[in-house]
Amino acid sequence: MDDSFPWEDLLDYIQNGKVVPIIGHELLQADYQGRRVSLQRLLAERLAEREKLDIQWHSHFELNDAVCAYLANPQAKLGGLYDRIAGLLRSLTPPFPVPDVLLRLAEIQPFDLFVSVTFDSLMARAIDQARFAGNAVTKEIEFSINQSTAPQNEALKVRPGDAPVVFNLFGRAASKFDFAVHDEDALEFIHRLVSGDVAPPDWLLSDLRNRHLLVLGVHMPDWLGRFVFRAATRDRLRVAERAYFIACENAPSDATLTEFLHRFGKGTSISVFEGTAEEFVNELHQHWRSRHPEATVDSGEARAVNAGGRDIFISYGSENLAAVERLHSVIKSLGGEAWFDKTELSAGDYWEKKILPQIRRDVRLFVPVISDRMSDRMTIRGEGYVFREWFEAVERSKKIVGRKFIIPVVVDTDYRGDLQRYQRLIDEFPALQELHFGRAPGGEPDEDLRKILNEEIRNMNRTRPRDGHT
């Protein structure tokens, strides 16, 4: 433990809601396919392999390394690179798991605003898992340099205090808008933010500029770091009275930035942790639990589901949660034993061991929920867990003869049988087009779907106990 670090001061600030964590790539490390790797390094390696790039890697700057190597070719065009990188993120199978360190950070309840300098959704997923049993409650706001009104309009709908917020400072790959993949991108994002060309909501900037900053695992060039710190400060650094708490691997090598803040931030308190960002979060989590033993929830408990004895599995995307809850309620009222995994974005190991076996062996009826937003997810969000569930169900259906196993249910309120609007999903799962699509606008089954569900539920009740693997 770093006993010289001002833990009590930081804990007091956190308890009073005066700290904003800034999340960097160093925290996005997890065990993936047999090795410990960061998401940035994984994507950079996939890009290098695809483009046949020869790269000299620099720790924590791997994606910038790959992009620079790509641009070394005079024929290379930067335009399509963003879609390519977003596609690599979407295609990760299984999806990259939420790092445990983010779950521990999310368990510290007073943190209600997080700033991420990465372009993924891992921090928001961690908060939803740790605090809301996997339900999609956390609001994500991505900054856009294209002056598109969509992200700004979404941000304006957020009311501070209603739910935790993750602000993606350099954009988000899961959206339709730009995100930063190299140093010049990051510079442009900060320039637009400071210039006010595309300003985020006033409430967000006010919160960011009036609280102390907890900088975790953020690695960026010294010159860019100065811009970021200035953008997050209301007044000139030399008169701003605030505290910076910094933790990252080899932090002393960032002495230039630290010395800059010491020299010109006369009213600034700067505390640098001696250790990695992950070590810092682990220690902070211990200090917080010691001070507030009743305030944190074990993340394993938060991710638990009760799947035992259930016949019907509802597979859905978190954007359709409200409709799924209504559909689940109706199925229960019809006498069905239905369940849906409220931890849809669970860590990979738990999902592999608990959720998929239920689909492969135990459930009698698999209900994939279809919507426009679900179809968009195929090309935008790239969260692959739910589609892996569908794949497993389709594979199992090939062995089942003489009864229904998959009943797709459309929850869009304006659906009139026009399956072409869901072509992305059908292209990926062609077996679906051979099935009857049920209709449940907003989660409320129509008369036809109610009859189908009633019949299947009666059949299940007549044939208990379960018929093994079918």
Taken in order 131, 120, 284, 34, is the CA torsion positive or negative?
positive
CATH class of segment(s) 7-28+96-299:
alpha beta
Lowest-confidence region among 75-84, 265-274, 457-466: 457-466
| pLDDT tens by residue, 366-383 | 999 999 888 876 654 444
Under the banding of pLDDT at 50, 70 and 90, the label for residue 149 is: low
Per-residue pLDDT, averaged over 328-337, amounts to 86
Q: How far apart are CA 470 and CA 466, in angstroms?
A: 8
Of 52-56, 172-176, 397-401, which one has max mean pLDDT? 52-56
Question: H or E segment at 438?
Answer: strand 438-439
| pLDDT tens by residue, 384-393 | 568 888 988 9
Per-residue pLDDT, averaged over 105-133, amounts to 92
| pLDDT tens by residue, 189-204 | 887 777 767 667 777 7
Under the banding of pLDDT at 50, 70 and 90, the label for residue 450 is: very high
Report which of residues 307 and 232 the model is more confident about. 232
Nearest Cα to Cα of residue 103 among 38, 23, 40: 23
For residue 333 the two structure tokens come to 């009222």
CB-side neighbour CA atoms (13 Å) of 95: 25
> Which of the 8 DSSP states describes residue 99?
P
Which residues touch 396 (CB under 8 Å, ≥6 apart)?
359, 360, 366, 405
Question: H or E segment at 149?
Answer: helix 149-157
Report which of residues 74 and 156 the model is more confident about. 74
Nearest Cα to Cα of residue 9 among 294, 239, 291, 258: 291
pLDDT at 360: 82
Per-residue pLDDT, averaged over 21-42, amounts to 94
Lowest-confidence region among 171-180, 284-293, 435-444: 171-180
Question: H or E segment at 459?
Answer: helix 447-462
pLDDT at 1: 54
Nearest Cα to Cα of residue 112 among 98, 101, 123, 120: 123
pLDDT at 257 over 90: no
Q: How far apart are CA 189 and CA 231, in angstroms?
A: 11
pLDDT at 256 over 70: no
pLDDT at 466: 41
Bridge partners, 114 (sequence order): 166
Q: How far apart are CA 37 and CA 77, in angstroms?
A: 28
pLDDT at 378: 65
pLDDT at 461: 74
| DSSP string for residues in 324-390 | HHHHHHHHHHTT--EE--TTTT--HHHIIIIIHHIIIII-SEEEEEE-HHHHHHTTTT---HHHHHH
pLDDT at 304 over 50: no
Report the percent of the chain where pLDDT is more than 90.
Answer: 32
Bridge partners, 359 (sequence order): none
Q: How far apart are CA 183 and CA 172, in angstroms?
A: 16
Q: How far apart are CA 153 and CA 10, in angstroms?
A: 34
Report which of residues 175 and 72 the model is more confident about. 72
For the chain, give the longest Cα–Cα distance. 78
pLDDT at 96: 92
**CATH 3.40.50.10140 residue ranges for the chain:** 305-462
> Which of the 8 DSSP states describes residue 97?
P
Letter for the amino acid at 168? N
Report which of residues 187 and 260 the model is more confident about. 187
Domain spanning 305-462 has what CATH number? 3.40.50.10140
Per-residue pLDDT, averaged over 453-468, amounts to 70
- 250, with CB counted inside 10 A (0-12, 13-18, 19+), is exposed
Q: How far apart are CA 178 and CA 172, in angstroms?
A: 7
pLDDT at 329: 85
Question: H or E segment at 67?
Answer: helix 62-71
- Say which residue the tokens 């308890």 belong to: 15
Distances (CA, A) of 352 to 300, 362, 458: 15, 15, 31
Report the length, in residues, of the chain: 470
Q: How far apart are CA 76 and CA 69, in angstroms?
A: 10
Distance between terminal CA atoms of the chain? 54
Distances (CA, A) of 49 to 60, 181, 382, 442: 18, 17, 20, 43
Lowest-confidence region among 50-59, 253-262, 350-359: 253-262
Q: How far apart are CA 425 and CA 435, in angstroms?
A: 13
Per-residue pLDDT, averaged over 227-239, amounts to 62
pLDDT at 346 over 90: no
pLDDT at 239 over 90: no
Return the ∠ at Cα 441 (arms to 437 and 442), rounded to 5°.
125
| pLDDT tens by residue, 393-437 | 998 988 887 788 999 999 999 898 888 888 888 888 898 888 999
Per-residue pLDDT, averaged over 78-106, amounts to 90
Per-residue pLDDT, averaged over 216-234, amounts to 72
For residue 156 the two structure tokens come to 């304006």
Q: Could you tell me where the beta strands, DSSP code E, fall in 24-170?
A: 29-32, 35-38, 113-116, 139-142, 165-168
Question: H or E segment at 271?
Answer: strand 269-272
For residue 313 the two structure tokens come to 């599995």
As a whole number, the mean pLDDT across the chain is: 80
pLDDT at 358: 78
Per-residue pLDDT, averaged over 309-316, amounts to 80
